[in-house]
Chain A
């Protein structure tokens, strides 16, 4: 059905944004490399530090490194895209267009999820080759499902950050400086319960913290994470992801209105 004048198809916007993201990636696929170097190295360093600690510590290294890679693609990809829009001068026309910016970002994030999974797979391959074999997984099917879900939780953080990045000129600063803080805070390479207790409530504000804890419960026998077990972790992850998505939608709506009123969008 043809759209009436002034109507905007959200699906069409998302698909167009996704298509553009794919084309941009195909034109310059080298950008997959920078966000994978750190995870690969961190995975190998952790593997070396865990050497001799037990058979399931390889899973820690792979999960942590994989998550870092996915985090890099999801957050950097989404946040950086907004920053690049600002630098190239395309943010203003995009925001001024009738299509809600949320769906433009959503298309990018969908592609970043795909690339994040590719990156996670490559990191997995490198660490497994270095370790001489894959980790033992008690429940591979559940592991895969939860691994995909971790990606969704990361995307929910990515979309929230992307919304905030429209507002700020400091996206690069937040990403660079906050990178390790996020790795520590969400316990991507070690259980959050190892951190001081006062940090745990803060860590639980992030959906990936819940999802990673659940993932470790099903993949590492004898794992000691949050005492409530992986089922509650999963519920927490779903709820917090939904909250993030809701907040992101609200922020996008507000940010779009605000930057159009103030007119300082292109400053950087």
Chain B
């Protein structure tokens, strides 16, 4: 069909763009996430990371409750591998595969484009946390009452969404960088220190606590711990709101970053360099 106005650019539908990206990303920008990589991320990394910190706590004189605390924290923290590290690297993939220029001139809606790209990582994140929590219950003495499973499921889903939003934000920042590896590595592990994964946030200096509060993992982990301990719906709802808020803010900032750096890219023509 001919266009009514030759200067009008047709914008693909939101859902079509999102689904196309969700389905294509594992073969393109997320191509490094092969099935062996995904299976290792879901089944191996959570167990080895939990074992590592459980023994560190044991060596430091920690008891069963400390081991359970650390195991639960690390079970959730492994979500960063798929949600933050992998999503953040999609920008590098675009640059290395030479598709960045084409993406920048595409009329496709950016939100659908990037959110679609994060769809598979969200699913992998859900699987990673679920397997991690299973390990925590089976091997590390973490008690997960059956009655708390619905609240726990909501907390896990919200955390996965929020963390992928944060990964997209880093991907947006990485647009301006030569590589996202450094950024990805920082946020892959920073949660172990600043998000209450291995010890309560209150044992850190106030400045570090504030930084930790800005990271969605902190709120997601707090919501998951609260869900398992059977806290009242009111306080749980507040934590869910905080997780959702951190995810929305991350996504909003991600879109802002992309828009800003896209404009710079189009004016300088240098953004695809790496």
Let me know if A42 and B59 touch, CB within 8 A: no
B246 to chain A, nearest CB (A): 21
Query: Cβ of A170: which chain B residues have Cβ within 8 Å of it?
Result: 36
Task: Count residues on chain A whose CB falls below 8 Å from chain B CBs.
Answer: 33
Known: A50-B60, A53-B60, A184-B48. A44 touches B193 (CB 8 A): yes
- Cβ 8 A contact of A184, one of B37, B51, B178: B51
Let me know if B59 and A45 touch, CB within 8 A: no
B contact face: mostly helix, strand, loop, or mixed:
helix
- Cβ 8 A contact of A180, one of B37, B48, B61, B193: B48
Let me know if A180 and B189 touch, CB within 8 A: no
A contact face: mostly helix, strand, loop, or mixed:
helix
Let me know if A189 and B199 touch, CB within 8 A: no
Interface residues on B, range: 35 or more
Quick one: which of B27-45 are within 8 Å of A by CB? 32, 34, 36-37, 40-41, 44-45
Q: Which chain B residue lies CB-closest to A53?
A: B60
Query: Given the complex of chains A and B, what is the CA–CA distance between A42 and B74 in angstroms?
Result: 13
Query: Cβ of A30: which chain B residues have Cβ within 8 Å of it?
Result: 178-179, 182
Query: A-side interface residues toward B, CB under 8 Å?
Result: 30, 33-34, 37-38, 41-42, 44-46, 48-53, 57, 60, 170, 172-173, 176-177, 179-181, 183-184, 189-191, 194-195
**27 examples of A-B residue contacts, CB within 8 angstroms:** A33-B185, A34-B182, A37-B182, A38-B185, A41-B192, A42-B189, A45-B192, A45-B199, A46-B56, A46-B60, A48-B193, A48-B203, A49-B60, A50-B56, A51-B60, A52-B61, A53-B61, A170-B36, A177-B41, A177-B45, A180-B48, A184-B51, A184-B55, A189-B55, A191-B59, A194-B58, A195-B55
Query: B-side interface residues toward A, CB under 8 Å?
Result: 32, 34, 36-37, 40-41, 44-45, 48-49, 51-53, 55-62, 70, 178-179, 181-182, 185-186, 188-190, 192-193, 198-199, 203
